[in-house]
Structures are given as C-alpha cells and as structure tokens.
A and B are shown apart, each in its own frame.
Chain A
Amino acid sequence: MRLELKGLTKKFGSFTADDDIDLVVEPGQIHAVLGENGAGKSTLMNMLYGILTPTSGEILIDDKPVSFTGPGDAIAAGIGMVHQHFKLVGPFSVADNVQLGREHTQGMGVLSAKAARKAVLDVSEEYGLKLDPDAICEDLPVGVQQRVEIVKALSGPKTELLILDEPTAVLTPAEITELLQIMRNLAAAGTSILFISHKLKEVQAVADTVTVIRRGKVVAELEPTASEAEMASAMVGRAVTLQVDKTPAEPGEARLEIKDLTLVSDAGVKVLDGLDLTVHSGEIVGLAGVEGNGQTELARAILGLVKPDEGRIAIDGKDMHGASPADRIADGLGYIPEDRGRDGVISEFSVAENLVLNQYRDVPFARRGAVNSGAVRKRAVDSISEFDIRTQSPEEPVSALSGGNAQKVIIAREFSRPRRFLVAAQPTRGVDVGASQFIHSRLIAERDTGTGVLLISSELDEIYALADRIAVIYNGRIVGEVAPDTPRAVIGRLMVGADIAGADDTAPASDDDADQTDEEANGGDR
C-alpha cells in the first residue's frame, strides 16, 4: 500500500496540533516519524486511524482519497495500528482480543472459538509471531502483549500498513531487539510501516526514511544514515549535545544506607531479598537492572510507602524505621517516582497546585490551615520560568501538559526545597530529547551541590551518562557494584544474574540462582 498525506491539518480550538503535514509511505517501507512529546505525532496517527477527523487536508491510499469516520473504516482500508497504550482487554484471551470487532461467528452472532483460535495461529505462523491464543492477556509480559497487539493489527481483512505508536516505550532492551527484527521481517514481506518514536537509535536501526515533526510541522526529511545529533537538533530545533558534561564526583559522607532490606510481596515472593546499598553525598549511583527485579519496591521502601519485612534504611545517618513518607520528605528526601501519572502528579490539579504538593502545609504556602494562593502562584511563576515548563498558565491542569513538561513539574517541585538525598526513578521515561537533556543537567547540578542521588533507570544509556557508580539489581539483590566505565556486556550479564560469582561478596552465588536463570532463559519465549 502506498499512503500519502497531503496538507493534513488538525486544529483543537485555537491550537493547531498538526499543520499542513505532507508525508508519503511507499509499499514495504519503514517510515519513521520523529518528534518530541507534543509535536503532534499521536494526533497525526489518530487521524490516519479514523479516531480524529482532520480539519483540512486529505489522506490518499494508493492515490485514491479516503475519509474515515471511525477506526472501523481505517481497518477496512487496510490500516492496522499498535497503540502506545495497549488496547487489550485484560481478562480476555488472546483470541478474543484479536477477534474483537470482527468476530468469527457460526451464524446468529454466536462465537466460534475454534475459528478464532485458528485465525490467531494462522497469522502468528505467517509472520513468525509466536502466541498462545488461549492465554489471558493481563497475565502476559508486556513484550508478549505487544505481540498480541501486532497480531491484532495484522488480522484485519487486508492489513497492508501498520502504524506503531511509540512501540518501544514500555519494552526491555531484549524485547526491543526482538521488535525491531519483527518490523524488518514485516517490511520484507511487503507491509508498510509507520514507526512513531523519539528514540534515535531505534530509528537509525530500522527506518528507511525519517520524517521529523516539530510543533505540528514537518521540519525535515532525513535518511536513516543521518547522525543522532542531526536528528536530535531537527526535533528540538537547536543544536543538542547528547553527552552530558560532568566533573568527577566528590563523594562525601553516606546519605543513604540500606542494610539487608527484605520485602515479601502479598503473593509470598521475596521482591527484595537482603539488599545492601550505600549512596554518598555528591555522587550519583545508577541502579541498573531489567525491570521487575525490585527497583519499584526499593524506591517505594525508601520513600516509606511500603514497610520492609526486614532490614534497615537510614537517610543522612538517621534510621527511618517507622517514619512516614511525610516525615522522610521533611527530613530532606526528594522523590521522582517512576509512574508519573500515579505517584507524581494529580493530573486534574493545576500546575501551581502540583508544584507545592510536598509543602502545601508549610509557611508561606499555608497559614493556619488556609492556602495562601498568592504565594503558591508566585512559586509557580518562578518554577515555570526556571524549569522552562511549557504551560499556558499556572492554572492549567497538569493533564493538559505533555509528558516531558509534566515531568518538569515534578522535578521543579522536588528541587524547590532543601534536600539531602534524591531518588530519581526513570526520570526521563516518556520524555523527549530536549527535556531529557535538561533533566540530566539538573541531576548533575544537584549532585554537585552535595546531594546524594540514586538514579533508577531501565535505560543503560542514561545510567552511563549520569552515574558515578553503577549498582546492578537482580531478583531483589544488588549483584554487583561496578565503575561507570564497565563494558555493557559485563553489566548485561549481571542484569540477568549470569555472572553472580563475579560480583562482590554481598551476593554469594547459590544453586538457586543458577536454576532461576536457566528457568528464565527457557521461559523467554513464552
């Protein structure tokens, strides 16, 4: 299928999300659309998929203009879409999710489970995407859920164009490698792919053509051979250095001391298993690891959201046993949560209100229980300019902000009061290049003022860019603490628990661990 967009424009009131977009996807081509958060990529895709109606301009499929009134029309026209936020019904089986909207029936609207299973197996075999049609979607790992989405998108009556909207945002490095391979195979089989991303490495790895969008306009058409810096500056609109400048760390006294921390989940699994970790003032310790190895629980335990079953946490030399999150924040703990929407902001609240969430009880923001809105507003105006938060006003709800700007609200809030120690969990997840760069430099500046920083990130690039020391977490333990110039391969092996004997004495290798690793390696293609 040849897809052409001519002058596609979408306005929301006075705001123009997409302005006169021209774009051509040739058959069998992987066409990447690069852009920062809020550049208008998702709006563009939603128009292509019939979710939104364009204000003006036209969509041509094989040179014939089409107009979609809903996703059903787009599917019928041969377009399949894998959404950034999966559109899977959790309690449904894979087969039911795939057949939703185009059910296999045996007449009279009665479902045919057999036909639905077979359809899934046929597609998964045709494209080499292994799936169990009877598995319940919510039980599947994220990477497999995405495979379900791809099979779903390919199961249309004649899917010839696949839209992948930020498909790698939630994947582990291994899953990303696999996805990129799947994309190459699909393109080789003649499927056209529109690949929305802001991750430059991935775009370089798979794309045939790159279109860069900034503030709703096409600003560049590039070859995938273009350098990362070239792509990044086109996205941001100015020259970007991807390297973060920093001086060597000057570690001082211990700011975070964790001894033998153990946490048992409701299901009876040790999600933290005798974890030891120390972070000093003036250093950034990067916590590397495959997601789901206890990072989330560790961050929550440091903040005091969960009560550990054993072990001790001390912040700035003070034992935190029994201290509530509010106590710890008052004692100088800063916290950038990994799940921005759930733990970081109250999205219906205004930017100004979110900026004082950690100190709304304190003078000058409140006096005798009444909020001083003048002081709140002044703080908001200051923070908005200092942290370059792109918002129409301090009264705008955070839900109207792009992901990067919402993250800046959190960072501004955490940095606006004196602190001794900072937990930064996935600080640049879903954040565009420009904002990431800004956040990184703020983290370094923070370190240089003497704060101890624990950086939890699933992106090794980020850890390499910022960390002065790298700790690797696996199955709820620190299995190695290494220098920041350690090769990726070494850390990669630590991350999957393969090299435990090579780690320091905090984690003696045991038979259990070895078995575990084998099991997971075998279970990898579930």
Chain B
Amino acid sequence: MAVDTMTASPALVDESVPVRYAKAGAVFAALGLFVLVIAFAVVGGDDKTLIRFDKTLTDVEWAMPTTVVMAVLGALTAAAGAWMLAGIPKRRFKLVSAIAVTAFVFSLLFWAYSQPGTVFRAESILAGALFLSLPYLFGALSGVVCERSGVINIGIEGQFLMGAFTGVLVANITGNVYAGMVGAMVAGLLSTMLLALLATKYQVNQVVVGVILNLLALGFTSFMYDQLKKAEGLNSAFAVPTLSWGPLADIPVIGPVLFQQKIFVYIGLVLVFVVWFLLYRTRWGLRTRAVGEHPAAADSMGVNVNRLRYWNVTVAGLISGFGGAWFTIANSLAFSKNMTAGLGFVALAVMIVGRWNPLGVLAGALIFGFTTQVARDLDASGGSVVPGEFLQMLPYAVTLVVVAGLIGKAKAPAADGVPYNPGDK
C-alpha cells in the first residue's frame, strides 16, 4: 500500500494562542488581592521601608513609602493572575509566573521591613544570603552528579555530617584548616563509595541505602562527638579567613557580596560552572547523562554503565563532604550533634527546583539562602510584622509548587534510581 505520509500527527499547538490557566490564575489573583488588602488596611500610611547600603555607602539611605510600593507589587501580581484567568499565550506563561512570584515575595519583604527599627541592610543581607546558600549548593551539586548518572543520593545529609565532623577532627589533629577541608572531602567520598557499591554492584534499593547511610552517619558522628569530649583539643573550632579583593571590595553592593567572602563561596561558584561544563560539554558529561537517562543505549554503544555510575557517585561524595565542612569550618564552629539539621534534605529539594541542572541549582540555592538570611535578620531585629518563620517557609512552598508542576514540570533523569544489568532493555 502506497501512502505518502509518515505519521498523521494532529495539528501542533500554536504557542501564541491564549490559553486559560484557571488554577494558577486564581492563586496569583488571590495573592495579589491579599497584598493589596495588607497595603491599605494593615500598613500605616506613613510607614516607610528603609534600605541601607551598610558596608560601602554608609551615608545613603532610601526610604520607600511601604503602602505605595506594596500596592504596585500587589497590583502586578493580581494583574498577572487576571491575565492567566482570561487567557494568556502559552509561551508567556512562565515569564509572567516568575514576575508574579517575584512581585509577591518583594511585597512581603517591603511589608516585613516596614516596622520602625527594621532596616533592610542590603549588602549584609545579600552577602549573607550567598554564604548561606552554600550548603544547599554543594549538596545539590553532589545530588546532580549522582542522579544524572542514575543513582539517587538521598544520603547527602549523612555526607554533610561526616564532612562536618571529619573536617574539624582533621583540622585539630594536623593544625591545618585546609587539611581539615580535604579530610571532609575524603569522608564524604568514603560515604558515597559505600552507596555506589551497594547501588551498582549489589543493586540494593537506593532510597533505603541512602536513609540507612544517613542514620549511620548520625549515629557515628554523635558517638564520636561524645568520645571526643573526653579528649582535649580534638573538637575545637577552626576558622578560614575572609578574603578581601582590595579595591574591588569597595564597589557598592557587588563588592561586599562577591569580593569579601570566604574561600567556600568562591569554590562553590566555580564548581557550579565546572560541573555544568563537564555535564554538557564533555565526553564524560554526555556519557553520564546517557547512563542516567537510558543506560541500555549507553551500554549498546560500549559505555560501561555500572563502572561510570560507581565512580561518579564516589566522586560526588567529594562535593557533599566539602559541603559538610561548611557547617563547621566556614562557620568557625566546633562539631555538635546533628548540626546539619536536615539541610541535606533541603539540598535535594534544591536539586529538584534546579531541575538537575547546575545553573538551576545555583538559582535555587540562592533563593533558599536569601530567605534563610532574611528570616534570621528579621528574627534578630525583632520588629517584624511577618514572622521570620513564615519567610523561612517560602522556599519550601516554592519547592512544592515546582514539584507539583504548576510552573513547569521538573523531570528527573529517566533511569534515576533504576539499577542496570547488562542486557536490560
């Protein structure tokens, strides 16, 4: 039978045709109205939000009328919601969503900093945000390397604990803080090596292994902590200096944020781009992504799937172990029991928000770092109307929204967590 078509695909969806997004639209409209109500009914007409550049331009202070700014931002959010309800071209949806979310978050910020006695110290807060984003960044990058290879690493929390503990211990023994960092990396590597072995050679359920490894790390470090308390000078705090880049550090905003930080910040930022480059521009990256997406395809082209997975997961432990050192060495703290407080799990959320992409991970980590910093700052000043805990909740809300697929589908590598046997389809 001669037919001159290949497939009768239905007409493609034209991305410029308006589509109604009822749920997203209603949510944004409600959020916008909420902000408008707060702006006019709760916030006093004379309230001002103060913004100060506390490190470079100490004499500059911007006083913004809170009601006006909030009203504008609230109207923006509500308008975005209304547009979605009425029908919006598909290709505009993501951008408008992003604008609406940003406007809503900023309106909350303006409200939170509108009380007398609270000042938005822009430079301190942004610099702190970058610093606080690091544990998420290191944890999520380690997760990206593992999951892109097809192994779920739910044990980041455990690798953090091992790194935090070993970092301090090695620094105390050697008297060298940098040796401590290397020790933290090795501790992370040993943790993930166990995961890699169990996941590839013995094909044990990776989530179960990860959970067990977390508990193992918690038990081990807690036990060792109690032992170390008996000995003098094995768990003392070590610090790394803050690097100041001379005149660059005096540039307003950029200076304090980027050029007056600890070495952890620079390693983290460089690592983002290095991992991105390795994943998307090198032979190793192509094979790694193939192994995580369709191991049988990689196998059929002569790639040794389980060997590649084994080494990738093992090496990823260097990153999460180094992230562990952040908790102790970067914060100039001694080790204490369970000091990572679940941030390793948040790092997993950051990895999902970042869609398994190092650049996305950077953005996600910065959002988490920023809200953590703002919450801490508001708590410290004590004069906020929006409870700090509420702001701290926001990143998790964002994670839920992203995972629920409202803003876009976060798609995991297809073979993530699936063991591979040569010959599988």
Contacts and interface: CB of A to CB of B under 8 A. Distances in A.
Contact of B13 (A75, A267, A492, A496): A267
A110 B286 contact: no
Interface string B278-298: 000111111101100110111
A324 interface: no
Nearest to A72: B302
Interface stretch (B3-11, B58-66, B219-227): B3-11
B6 A174 contact: yes
Interface in B296-316: 296-304
Contacts of B297: 87-89, 97, 100
A111 B278 CA distance: 10
B286 A172 contact: no
Interface in B401-425: 414, 422-423, 425
Contacts of B293: 89-92
A87 B294 contact: yes
* Most chain A beta-carbon neighbours within 10 Å: one of B8, B10, B302: B8
A464 B282 CA distance: 53
B7 A292 contact: yes
Contact of B300 (A71, A142, A516): A71
B5 to A, nearest CB: 5
Given A92-B290, A269-B13, A101 B301 contact: yes
B415 to A, nearest CB: 10
Nearest to A515: B11
Interface string A38-57: 00000000100101100000
A85 interface: yes
Chain B interface, DSSP helix/strand/loop, else mixed: loop
A275 to B, nearest CB: 14
B318 to A, nearest CB: 19
B19 interface: yes
A271 interface: yes
A484 interface: no
A280 to B, nearest CB: 28
A489 to B, nearest CB: 7
A70 interface: yes
A175 interface: yes
B1 A70 contact: no
Contacts of B341: none
Given A71-B302, A97-B297, A100-B287, A111 B4 contact: no
Nearest to A517: B5
Interface in A468-526: 474-476, 488-489, 492, 495-497, 516-517, 520-521, 523-526
Nearest to B280: A111
B310 to A, nearest CB: 16
A152 B7 CA distance: 22
A100 B303 contact: yes
B2 interface: yes
A51 B6 contact: no
Contact of B8 (A87, A96, A102, A475): A475
A52 B299 CA distance: 12
Contact of A75 (B5, B10, B290, B302): B302
B3 A496 contact: yes
B1 to A, nearest CB: 5
B5 A524 contact: yes
B4 A52 contact: no
A405 B284 CA distance: 42
A520 B12 CA distance: 12
Interface in A352-394: none
A440 interface: no
A73 B299 CA distance: 12
B11 A46 contact: no
Contacts of A13: none
A147 to B, nearest CB: 11
A99 interface: yes
A49 B285 CA distance: 25
Interface in A268-316: 268-271, 290-293
A318 to B, nearest CB: 31
Given A46-B423, A102-B301, A497 B286 contact: no
Contacts of A144: 6
Interface string A62-77: 0000000011110100
A476 B281 CA distance: 43
A143 B282 contact: no
A272 B353 CA distance: 36
A154 to B, nearest CB: 13
A291 B7 contact: yes
Given A110-B281, A293-B8, A101 B1 contact: no
A85 B425 contact: yes
* Most chain A beta-carbon neighbours within 10 Å: one of B281, B294, B303: B294
A190 interface: no
Contact of A51 (B7, B283, B300, B414): B300
B283 A174 contact: no
B9 A99 contact: no
A489 B3 CA distance: 9
* Most chain A beta-carbon neighbours within 10 Å: one of B289, B301, B422: B301
A523 B7 CA distance: 9
Interface string A173-215: 1110100000000000000000000000000000000000000
A516 B11 contact: yes
B300 A83 contact: yes
Given A92-B290, A489-B1, A492-B3, A105 B283 contact: yes
Contacts of A331: none
Contacts of B7: 141-143, 172, 290-292
A460 interface: yes
B6 A524 contact: yes
Contacts of B19: 268
Nearest to A96: B286
Contact of B6 (A46, A88, A141, A265): A141
A49 B425 CA distance: 14
Contacts of B10: 265, 269-271, 292, 475-476
A221 interface: no
B281 A99 contact: no
Contacts of B294: 87-90
A204 to B, nearest CB: 16
A478 to B, nearest CB: 14
A287 to B, nearest CB: 14
Given A173-B3, A267-B13, A460-B1, A520 B8 contact: yes
A248 interface: no
Contacts of A88: 294, 297
Contact of A101 (B2, B285, B302): B302
Nearest to A491: B1
A406 to B, nearest CB: 14
* Most chain B beta-carbon neighbours within 10 Å: one of A100, A110, A111, A497: A100
A99 B5 contact: no
A109 B300 contact: no
A170 B325 CA distance: 53
Given A101-B301, A103-B287, 5 more contacts: A89-B289, A110-B281, A142-B7, A270-B10, A520-B5
14 contacts: A46-B423, A51-B300, A70-B304, A71-B300, A92-B293, A100-B290, A101-B301, A110-B282, A111-B283, A144-B6, A174-B6, A290-B8, A475-B10, A521-B4
* 7 closest A-B pairs by CB: A72-B302, A101-B301, A87-B297, A103-B283, A269-B10, A174-B3, A109-B283
